[in-house]
Amino acid sequence: MFRFLYQPSVISLLCCSAQIGQEKVDVKKNGAVHNKTQSADPSPPNPVLPEIILAMRSVIPHLVHQARFQWFDAACAVQKQSQQRKCPMSTLISIATAIPDHRITQAEVLAVLAQARGAALPARLAQILGNSGIEQRYLACEAEFYLQPRSWASRAAIYDQVGTGLAHKVARDALDKATLMPTDIDAIVLISTTGTMTPSIPSRMIEAMGFDQSTQTIPVFGYGCAGSVLGLRLANDLAAANGGQNVLMIALELCSLSYDYSQFDKKNMIATALFADGCAAAVISGKAGQSIAPSFRAFGQKTWPSTRDMMGWDIGATGFDLVLARDIPTFVTKDFAPYCDSFLAAHSLLMSDLSEPACHPGGGRVVEALEAYFAPEIDGIAATREILRQHGNMSSPTVLFVLEQLLARTPEKPILLTALGPGFTAALAILDPAGAA
């Protein structure tokens, strides 16, 4: 709605007319000045009021005419801003993924841990591993490495060595798929919650990979499993800057660095059963002429109060200690689902308008809760299940693995991206397929 612009002359005259019955007016009569208080009673007649009315009649049409033009100018400005907000968002030019060398099955996890402990494992751990929906995972190191006493120094060294290598690989692959050179990139975003370095990996990539020295680098820590969807939103905003930019976003997680076999409480059993290592990159562009690529329509984020204990890290003496205190599948049903409904409604979308969503899987029970939410309009989230089965929960990169698989099918309907992470936070995005209006 447009507000009528403030016009001092009109307002002053209207106030004078409205308040004349309560004001003192100096009236000159027979050469003397008399102070008279005018009441709202029409009698006796006010000798000044007719003159005011005549003045208003002669002045107001001109002022209203002038105000109309100012209102029209304001309306045009707001409409222009609205049109700018509705302009196509950034495009997703390419996705690349990478995994470390060391593959391990769930059965091998049980055998290695039992051998290391010299005793039978808790029955609960075998049950969690069996119900995880995971067959195999990839880790930064051989399994025996994680049986050594954990320390910040040893885990940081692995993050540097293996993490940097994976980040470089996905960056090269994503640029190759986008047919871009490192010098074509204006900003590099790194999403990572399982390690950190100073200078950051993006800063080190400038010289190592030949990016321009003016390339903006943005390392982001703390998004956890919601990292890729929130990172895409950040990359989208950066891509819109300066008349359009090319942004390289990298999601790197070495979740295995938090393993601590010496602790076998419930949350560490879950970590051992679910989490894995991986890396993904995406090139996002705000430059013109990218209509043949998928484009983002909208992003959403919600953080619920009093939920910080649901997921996160405690800084332990020897490494990151997992915080995982609530039933996430139940949260999906009771809290995430209504929020997702409102997000879709805000963008005039029904569940039947969507192709298969790209979801961060979490674990087997989380996938089941998501499938129950999408049913019956969407018959399962097969790509999400497959990535979980083959790679486990890699935290932030996982949803990009899923999205890469879905885009290979050339979908005709919008793709909903979903992820849940520390906060406790939901992250959503809508990606329109290539060529969509």
> Is residue 70's pLDDT more than 80?
no
400 or 39, which is more confident? Answer: 400
Q: pLDDT exceeding 70 applies to what percent of the chain? A: 78
> Is residue 17's pLDDT more than 80?
no
273 or 280, which is more confident? Answer: 280
H or E element at residue 173: helix 164-177
The C-alpha atoms of residue 332 and residue 380 are separated, in whole angstroms, by 15
Angle at Cα 388 formed by Cα 385 and Cα 393, nearest 5°? 140
Average pLDDT over residues 245-270: 87
The amino acid at residue 207 is E
The C-alpha atoms of residue 413 and residue 353 are separated, in whole angstroms, by 7
Average pLDDT over residues 243-254: 97
Terminal C-alpha separation, the chain:
28
The C-alpha atoms of residue 342 and residue 168 are separated, in whole angstroms, by 39
Confidence bin at 149 (pLDDT 50/70/90): confident
368 or 326, which is more confident? Answer: 368
Confidence bin at 47 (pLDDT 50/70/90): low
> Is residue 41's pLDDT more than 60?
no
The amino acid at residue 280 is A
119 or 2, which is more confident? Answer: 119
Residues counted in the chain: 437
Residue 278 contacts residue 101 (beta carbons within 8 Å): no
95-144 pLDDT, tens digit per residue, is: 999 999 999 998 898 888 777 777 777 777 777 777 788 999 999 999 88
> Is residue 22's pLDDT more than 70?
no
- Tokens 């993050």 -> residue: 159
What's the pLDDT at 14? 36
> Is residue 252's pLDDT more than 80?
yes
- Tokens 């299940």 -> residue: 385
SS (H, E, C) 234-300: HHHHHHCHHHCCEEEEEEEEEHHHHCCCCCCCHHHHHHHHHECEEEEEEEEECCCCCCCCCEEEEEE
> Is residue 435's pLDDT more than 90?
no
Residues whose CB falls within 8 Å of the CB of residue 181, separated by 6 or more in sequence, listed in order:
175, 210
Buried b (16+ CB within 10 A) or exposed e, 392-403: bbbbbbbbbbbb
Three-state DSSP at 57 gives helix
Mark residue 374 as left, alpha or beta (left: phi above 0; alpha: psi -120 to 50; beta: remaining): alpha
Lowest-confidence segment of 68-77, 107-116, 273-282 by average pLDDT: 68-77
Q: What is the mean pLDDT of the chain?
A: 82
Mark residue 392 as left, alpha or beta (left: phi above 0; alpha: psi -120 to 50; beta: remaining): left
Residue 384, both tokens: 């999400």
Q: Can you give the pTM of this predicted structure?
A: 0.79
353-384 pLDDT, tens digit per residue, is: 999 999 999 989 999 999 999 999 999 999 99
Q: pLDDT exceeding 90 applies to what percent of the chain? A: 60
What is the sign of the dihedral through the CA atoms of 283, 284, 290 and 293?
positive
The C-alpha atoms of residue 408 and residue 146 are separated, in whole angstroms, by 35
What's the pLDDT at 324? 81
Residue 329, both tokens: 């599948």
> Is residue 337's pLDDT more than 80?
yes
89, 200, 216 from 180: Cα distances, Å:
20, 23, 17
Confidence bin at 69 (pLDDT 50/70/90): very low
| DSSP codes of every residue in 368-436 | HHHHHHHTTTS---HHHHHHHHHH-B-STTHHHHHHHHHHTT--SS-EEEEEEETTTEEEEEEEEPTT-
What's the pLDDT at 58? 54
Q: Is 390 exposed, middle or buried (0-12, 13-18, 19+ CB in 10 A)?
A: middle
Which residues on neighbouring strands pair with residue 250, listed in sequence order? 190, 281
325 or 134, which is more confident? Answer: 134
Confidence bin at 5 (pLDDT 50/70/90): very low
Residue 239 contacts residue 247 (beta carbons within 8 Å): yes
